[in-house]
Amino acid sequence: MRITEARVIVTCPGRNFVTLKLFTDDGLTGVGDATLNGRELAVASYLTDHVCRLLVGRDAHLIEDTWQYLYQGSYWRRGPVTMAAIAAVDTALWDIKGKAAGLPVYQLLGGRSREGVLVYGHANGASVEEVIDEVARYDAMGYRAVRVQCAIPGLSDTYGVSTDKLFYEPADSPLPRETRWSSESYLDFIPTVFSALRERFGLHMRLLHDVHHRLTPIEAARLCKSMEPYGLLWIEDPIREELQEGFRLIRQHTTVPIATGEVFNSIWDCTQLITEQLVDYIRVAVSHAGGITHVRRIFQLADLYHVRSGSHGATDLSPVSLAAALHVDTAIPNFGIQEYMRHTPATDEVFPHSYFYNDGELHLGDEPGLGVDIDEAAAARFPYRPAYLPVNRLIDGTVHSW
Ligand code: GCO
Ligand code: MG
C-alpha cells in the first residue's frame, strides 16, 4: 500500500487549523492534525516544502519506520514545528492502518480498557457568582469534572475568562493582544472561588484549575497549600515547564495533584517529571508531541511511575486531534481524564466525526480508522486568517508567561 499524495489543507472555520491528508494507491485516506496555534503556517511549510515529497511512494504500513525516518532523519530533532509535522504524518498513517484492517484505531492499540472517556469542561466567569452559575450549567449537562477559571479583581483581563461561555477562543486577534498580570492579586483571591464552589456544590463535582505557567515554584507551593481543603483533581501548569526540577519544590510542600505537559513536544521534556514522580498527570497532545506513536511511548513510561494521562483538548486541537486522543485514552491502562473544549458548529462541519458526548464522557464510534475526516469543500469556504495568542505582562510592563 503506497502513499500517492500528501495534501496540506489550511482552513479557518472560526480559528485556524492545518490538516494533512494522505492518499494511498488502494483508495484509502488518512488525516492528521498539524495545527500549532499562532504559528500555523510554519508547520504547513515544514510539511509542504520538506516532508510531503518524502512520503510519496512510501509504504503506508510503515508507521514506526516513517516516524524514525522523519525524526532521526531530519538531523534537527524535536521542537514544536518538527514534532507537529511528524505527529500529523503519524496520525494519518494510524488512520490508514485502521481502515486497511477494518478496525477502529484503539483496537490496534490493544483494544478497549474502558467504555467511555471521562472529560472535563471549562467553566469560567467574571465573578464568583457567575462561576457558580457556569459550574451548575456543566453539572446540568452531565459533566462530572470542570476546570474553573475566574476573573481576578483589579486585573482588566484574566486568562481563561471569556465572554462566550461555550466557545472560548484565546487566539482572537490579528496582532497579539496584551494582558496584564499580578501573581499577588491572584494568590490572594483564587482560593476564595474554590471555597465558594465547595460550599455550593459539596464534593459533588471534580474541580480542576489551570495556572497557565504563571507562578514561581514557591508561589505555586503556596497556592497548592491554600487549595488543599477543596480537593481539586489537579492544578495545571503551576510554573513554567522548562526547568523540570522546579516541580520538586512544589511537591515538597503539598498533596495537591499536579498536571502539566500541553506545551511539551517530546518524551525528553518530561522524563525527569515522570521518573521522579514530580507530577500526577501528563497532558501531552497527539498533535503536538509526535503523534499517536510518540504519545503512547510517553504514557507507557508514565504508567511505570503512577503518572496518569490528562490529554490537552483545547479548541486549537482540531477534531482530528481529539479523535486521535480518544483512541489513545480508550486503550491505555493509565488514563486519567481528557480535556474537552467544545468546537464551534463551523469546525464540526469542516471535520465530520463519529465521536460523541454523553453524560460526562466522550465515546468513539465503531468505524475503521480514527472516525474523523476533513470536508475539503467546506474547508475551502474558510480561508486562513492571521491570529495570535495574547502576550502577557506584569503590572510594571515586564513580559511574563501568558
Ligand atoms: C488548556 C490550555 C489552552 C491553551 C491553548 C494555547 O488547558 O486548555 O491552557 O487553552 O491556552 O491551547 O494554544
Ligand atoms: Mg492549560
Q: What is the pLDDT of residue 181?
A: 97
Q: How far is CA 98 from CA 91, 109, 205, 331, in A?
A: 11, 10, 36, 14
Q: How far is CA 355 from CA 31, 97, 99, 242, 330, in A?
A: 15, 19, 16, 34, 12
CA 234, CA 284: separation in Å to the nearest integer? 15
56: number of Cβ within 10 Å: 13
Residues of 215-241 as b/e, b for ≥16 C-beta within 10 angstroms?
bebebbbbbbebbeebebbbbbbbbbb
Q: Counting ligands in written order, which one lies closest to the CA of residue 38?
A: 1
Q: Looking at ligand 1, which residue's alpha carbon is closest to its atom 4?
A: 314
Q: Is 130 within 8 Å of 116 (Cβ atoms)?
A: no
Residues of 150-169 as b/e, b for ≥16 C-beta within 10 angstroms?
bbbeebeebbbbbeebebbe
All residues at 6 or more sequence positions from 224 whose CB lies less than 8 Å from its CB, including other chains: 235, 238, 250, 253, 254, 256, 258
CA 148, CA 193: separation in Å to the nearest integer? 9
CA 44, CA 340: separation in Å to the nearest integer? 25
Residues with CB under 6 A from ligand 1: 37, 170, 210, 212, 262, 314, 316, 339, 389
Q: Looking at ligand 1, which residue's alpha carbon is closest to its atom 10?
A: 314
* Atom of ligand 1 lying closest to residue 122 CA: 8
64 phi/psi in degrees, rounded to 5 = -65, -45
Residue ranges in the chain whose pLDDT is less than 70:
none
Please choose, from the candidates 127, 192, 134, the residue with its C-alpha nearest in 3D space to the C-alpha of residue 153: 127
Q: What is the pLDDT of residue 93?
A: 99
Q: Looking at ligand 1, which residue's alpha carbon is closest to its atom 6?
A: 37
* Atom of ligand 1 lying closest to residue 38 CA: 13
All residues at 6 or more sequence positions from 157 whose CB lies less than 8 Å from its CB, including other chains: 179, 180, 390
CA of 99 to the centre of ligand 2 (A): 33
CA 357, CA 142: separation in Å to the nearest integer? 10
Q: What is the pLDDT of residue 383?
A: 98
pTM higher than 0.95, yes or no? Answer: yes
Domains contained in the chain, CATH given: 3-104 (3.30.390.10), 108-368 (3.20.20.120)
CA of 122 to the centre of ligand 2 (A): 11
Q: Looking at ligand 1, which residue's alpha carbon is closest to its atom 2?
A: 314
User: What is the 8-class DSSP label of residue 324?
Assistant: H
Q: What is the pLDDT of residue 204?
A: 87
Q: In a mutational test of the pocket of ligand 1, which residue from 262, 264, 388 has the highest number of ligand atoms less than 8 Å from its CB?
A: 262
Q: Is 259 within 8 Å of 232 (Cβ atoms)?
A: no
Q: Report the DSSP pairing between strands 391-394 and 356-358.
A: unpaired
Q: Looking at ligand 1, which residue's alpha carbon is closest to its atom 5?
A: 314
Q: What is the pLDDT of residue 164?
A: 80
Q: Is 337 within 8 Å of 233 (Cβ atoms)?
A: yes
CA 317, CA 341: separation in Å to the nearest integer? 9
CA of 309 to the centre of ligand 1 (A): 16
Q: Show the DSSP H helices in 240-308 as ranges.
A: 246-253, 271-275, 291-304
Q: Is 258 within 8 Å of 281 (Cβ atoms)?
A: yes
CA 11, CA 27: separation in Å to the nearest integer? 24
The per-residue pLDDT for range 254-309, each reduced to its tens digit, is 999 999 999 999 999 999 999 999 999 999 999 999 999 999 999 999 999 999 99
Q: Which residues are known to be catalytic? A: 159, 212
Q: In a mutational test of the pocket of ligand 1, which residue from 210, 213, 322 has the highest number of ligand atoms less than 8 Å from its CB?
A: 210
Q: What is the pLDDT of residue 270?
A: 98
Question: What is the gyration radius of the CA atoms in the chain, in angstroms?
Answer: 20
The per-residue pLDDT for range 19-33, each reduced to its tens digit, is 999 999 999 999 999
CA 340, CA 391: separation in Å to the nearest integer? 24
CA of 23 to the centre of ligand 2 (A): 34
CA of 138 to the centre of ligand 2 (A): 19
